[in-house]
Structure 1
């Protein structure tokens, strides 16, 4: 299965649909090249949760927290980490096992970071500039989230 998005708004709408069903402790890995749509997807999740702030790319922050919505949103960026031991330094497991939903950009960089993930979303840019989003569920919870994403017409 693959979702194709032809605009930022379509990517965000796809994420808003999924956000309606996320639960505390859900960890979703966002994988793809720079500019593929990972942060736009995160913005859609934040909107779907009712967070008052709009996430930006966390490139120079390892984790950004967004509170005030239905659930806290934790937006990780592992790009700048050099070693998996640094996950302890940012309390990765304490946060991902906590009270909110975690979206992890570059989540495939360290296998240790993906152990608790229920879903990986692989983002790529198509030749026409559209974005392909391929969901790879790891658990039944991830399968349910993919079903929620596709509950309306594809983005």
Structure 2
């Protein structure tokens, strides 16, 4: 699926639509340059699920955890990862073993330590907005 998102609000709305279609357990890779809208998309997803607290980029914390009812959502940002091995030290597989949805920004920084994602979403600046491409990578 390929779409054009003219504004940040459009990006949040795309994230909101994901709340309706993503399964409760999945791994989603988010690709895109700095400022492409990856965290904005996750914010839209969480708001659509009813989360009303602060939603921030996990750039400095590496992971932010959210709960909506019984649904657990983990939002990772691997941008500041020095080496992929660091994922072992934080127990990355423990997150994947849970019944949770995991969004991972900058997944290439974790190459060799991340499983194949269920979905990949790429956001690219395009004119004054952004182009978004979503692919299903596993048979769900």
Indicate whether the TM-score tops 0.5: yes
Q: For residues 108-142 of structure 1, give each alpha carbon's deviation from its aligned partner in whole angstroms, at most 9, with x where no partner exists.
A: 2233354241011111101x22111111321123x
Aligned counterparts, 1:72-87, within 5 A: 72-87=72-87
Q: How many positions carry a matched residue from both structures?
A: 140
Aligned counterparts, 1:61-76, within 5 A: 61-69=61-69, 71-76=71-76
SS at 1:64 equivalent = strand
Question: Per-residue deviation at 1:69?
Answer: 4.1
Question: Per-residue deviation at 1:77?
Answer: 0.6
More strand by share: 2
Q: CA RMSD in A?
A: 1.6
Instruction: Tell me which residue corresponds to 2:99.
Output: 99
Q: For residues 89-120 of structure 1, give each alpha carbon's deviation from its aligned partner in whole angstroms, at most 9, with x where no partner exists.
A: 22211112312211101012233354241011
2-side partners of 1:72 and 1:33: how far apart? 26
Question: Per-residue deviation at 1:57?
Answer: 1.4
Contact kept in structure 1, 2:83 and 2:109, CA below 8 Å:
no
Instruction: Tell me which residue corresponds to 2:3.
Output: 3
Question: Per-residue deviation at 1:36?
Answer: 0.4
Contact kept in structure 2, 1:26 and 1:101, CA below 8 Å:
yes
The normalised TM-score by structure 2 is 0.90
Contact kept in structure 2, 1:50 and 1:70, CA below 8 Å:
no
* Displacement over 4 Å in runs of 4+: none
